[in-house]
Amino acid sequence: MAVPSTPQHYIECEMCDENCLYHCNSCYVRLCEKCRDNHKINPYTKAHDISRYNPRILAIPLKKCPRHRTKDLDMHCKECQIPLCSNCAIAPDHHGHTFEDLEEIYSKHFEAFKIDLCKIYEYFLPASNDVLDDIQDDVTKVKKMIGETRRKLKLETEAVKREIETAFSEKMAQLEKIERETLKDLYTQTKTMTDYISYLNGLAKKYQFKLVNKDPEYLVRNEAEGINSIPKTSKPAYPTVIAGNLNKAEVLKALSKIFPNVSTEERNVRKLFSLKSLPHLQFIKQNQKDMVNSRPCKRWKMSNFVTEAEGITVQGLKSILHVSKDQADRLWVSEFGGNLVQTDKRGNRLRSMKISGTGRACHTMTLMHGNLLFIGKENNVIYKISDDKIIKFVKTEDWTALSIYSSYRNEDILMGMIKDDTETNDAKVTRYSKTGKKIQDIKNRNRCWTGMLYKFPDYLTENINGDICVSDRRKEAVVVVNKAGKYRFSYTGQQPNSEFSPCGICTSTLGHILICDPKSYSIHLLDKDGLFLSLLNIGQSGLVRPCGLCVDLENQLYVGYYESNALTRYTLYKY
């Protein structure tokens, strides 16, 4: 908290510099009326007991000495580590001991407990609940994945069953064919033999009749006819069955393989690194700041971190608010008023059009096909240029689109929007698929103690871990949520009393976040968890207010400026 230059005439709220009117009896924080209201809507402090502020509420509790009933305990023996009264201090059993003012000891420990209590409510509880939510999300995902795997295995098993049944039917048909052909041949042989037996029976009767006739002359006249030989027949070819080699291993081989998880990844926990991320801790004294993990502000040395490449002067523009780059070394650059220009790397103007003038990051390039997406003049219609044809892509209904970004990860489309009317005055970030189907809304109703999540999301980007990073100039902050839309952290600059006006934002291939700040004429560099790393000082003559920002896959950084049509190009190679 800043030290006032004049004598303080009122007790300050510990969350801001307004007059303290209330006191939280649960976490011992002094509050003004506005901060009291925020305290009541915070999900982790809304049940706290808040009362009117009493200046004596933080004084040391008076307690009588058990040995000297008329004396108060007002001293502390360092050797014995017990409270004493003044009479105890001169007793023989404390001779030569060192004493401290009990009120000072109480105040010191009170402040320490107060700091830890605020940390619990403002960091550890929200962060732990985030982890718990992640675990619950993992439970849902595991159940869904197991269900999908179970369904897939059932389908595969049914497919294997169908193949087996088909093979069985084919084998049965083959057996039936063999049976038919074999039995047909046997039936033919049966008929042949039946006919032959009938012939023999007839011949036997004939010969018997001749033998019965005793007339010698008849026997002489009728010689024996002879007997036809037995017809030839053949034995059938019995089908040979060879057992198949289908076994359990072969069946398992035909189905999907399932591998148990043998390694786990440690969960990410939101870091505690900035006083501004914990408003209740702003009362920490200067000598207690080492309790918060912060780093001193350092500046980039241009020769160590970036090399400046050839600059570009864009014809037909007066300022540069936003930059998009395709894979053919062409740039789309926009300025105030909605003028959008396509230029080559030499600055030659290739084409131009009129787009939205409400937001700033009003255009983006898709990675795979190099299509341009931009917010139209209507502010609620997104257009796409594909094969030199302009087509309507998405309509945002009654929301005003401010910013748009095409993901390098999956080509999802992220859009920052506002509903700027007297009833709602709302803002959100919406995710669309690459075909224009809405798949996610990240609204202001987010479990976050910083109030509204967004006010005016006019620049946004996506990091390599799926985090959505938004520059919000009305909040004077960069707000980061994870891919599920859960709040992770906010960044409000490095100097507590200086203005921070975030504009263009992008992420590098290392997952670092780069933010333009025209107020400080610099670019802030953060890691993926919001920890400040350094500043890139622009500081060139006439080019002092960076606004538009773009990094391509080759780590080429393009910087545009408020009051110039010059683009500065840098090569990021080490930071």
- Contact between residue 457 and residue 402 where contact means Cβ atoms under 8 Å apart: yes
| Residue-level pLDDT at 191 | 92
Of 471, 407, 476, residue with least CA distance to 439:
407
| Residue-level pLDDT at 56 | 47
**Where along the chain do its domains lie?**
66-97, 147-254, 295-572
- Contact between residue 339 and residue 317 where contact means Cβ atoms under 8 Å apart: yes
What's the pTM value of the predicted model, to 2 decimals? Answer: 0.52
State whether residue 556 is helix, strand or coil.
strand
**Going by DSSP bridges, is the β-strand pair 312-313/322-325 parallel, antiparallel, or unpaired?**
unpaired
CA distances from 238 to 174, 241, 292, 549 (A): 13, 10, 90, 84
Question: What helix, strand, coil percent values describe the chain, rounded to 5?
Answer: 30, 25, 45
- Domain 295-572: CATH superfamily is TolB, C-terminal domain (2.120.10.30)
Cβ neighbours of residue 273 closer than 8 Å, sequence gap 6 or more: 292, 293, 294, 529, 530, 531, 532
Of 419, 443, 447, residue with least CA distance to 430:
443
Query: Distance (Å, rounded) from C-alpha 524 to C-alpha 514?
Result: 6
- Contact between residue 514 and residue 532 where contact means Cβ atoms under 8 Å apart: no
Give the pLDDT confidence of 432-471 residue by residue, as tens digits: 988 888 988 888 765 444 467 888 898 999 998 889 999 9
Query: Distance (Å, rounded) from C-alpha 458 to C-alpha 456?
Result: 6
Tens of pLDDT along the chain (575 residues) come to: 344 444 444 577 777 667 888 888 777 777 888 888 877 877 767 778 888 876 544 555 667 888 887 787 778 888 888 888 877 877 878 877 888 877 777 777 777 777 777 677 767 877 788 788 888 888 888 888 888 888 888 888 888 888 888 888 988 898 888 889 889 999 999 999 999 899 889 888 887 877 776 666 666 666 666 788 888 888 887 777 777 777 777 777 777 777 666 556 677 676 654 444 444 344 333 333 333 333 333 333 333 445 565 677 887 788 888 888 877 778 888 887 778 888 887 778 888 888 877 778 899 988 777 888 999 888 888 999 887 888 889 998 888 899 999 988 888 999 999 886 645 678 899 999 888 889 888 887 654 444 678 888 989 999 988 899 999 988 889 999 988 888 888 898 877 667 888 999 999 888 889 999 888 888 888 988 888 888 776 655 456 688 888 888 777 888 888 878 777 777 664 44
Query: Distance (Å, rounded) from C-alpha 321 to C-alpha 49?
Result: 48
| Residue-level pLDDT at 478 | 93
Name the DSSP letter for residue 123: I
Exposed, middle or buried, 483 (CB in 10 Å: 0-12/13-18/19+)? middle
Cβ neighbours of residue 408 closer than 8 Å, sequence gap 6 or more: 367, 462, 553
> Dihedrals φ, ψ of 204, to 5°?
-65, -40
| Residue-level pLDDT at 276 | 40
Give the pLDDT confidence of 37-81 residue by residue, as tens digits: 877 877 767 778 888 876 544 555 667 888 887 787 778 888 888
Query: Distance (Å, rounded) from C-alpha 373 to C-alpha 41?
Result: 39
Alpha-helix runs per DSSP H in 271-351? 302-305
**Going by DSSP bridges, is the β-strand pair 99-101/75-77 parallel, antiparallel, or unpaired?**
antiparallel
Of 334, 371, 372, residue with least CA distance to 356:
334
Query: 3-class secondary structure for 354-389?
Result: ECCCCCCCCEEECCCCCCEEEECCCCCEEEEEECCE
The H-or-E segment that residue 392 falls in is strand 389-395
Give the pLDDT confidence of 347-405 residue by residue, as tens digits: 788 888 888 777 788 999 887 778 889 998 888 889 998 878 888 899 988 888 999 99
Give the pLDDT confidence of 539-555 residue by residue, as tens digits: 554 566 888 888 887 77
CA distances from 560 to 367, 495, 500, 556 (A): 21, 24, 18, 13
The H-or-E segment that residue 480 falls in is strand 477-481
Name the DSSP letter for residue 292: S
Tokens of 243: 């057992």
Cβ neighbours of residue 562 closer than 8 Å, sequence gap 6 or more: 319, 320, 321, 518, 545, 546, 547
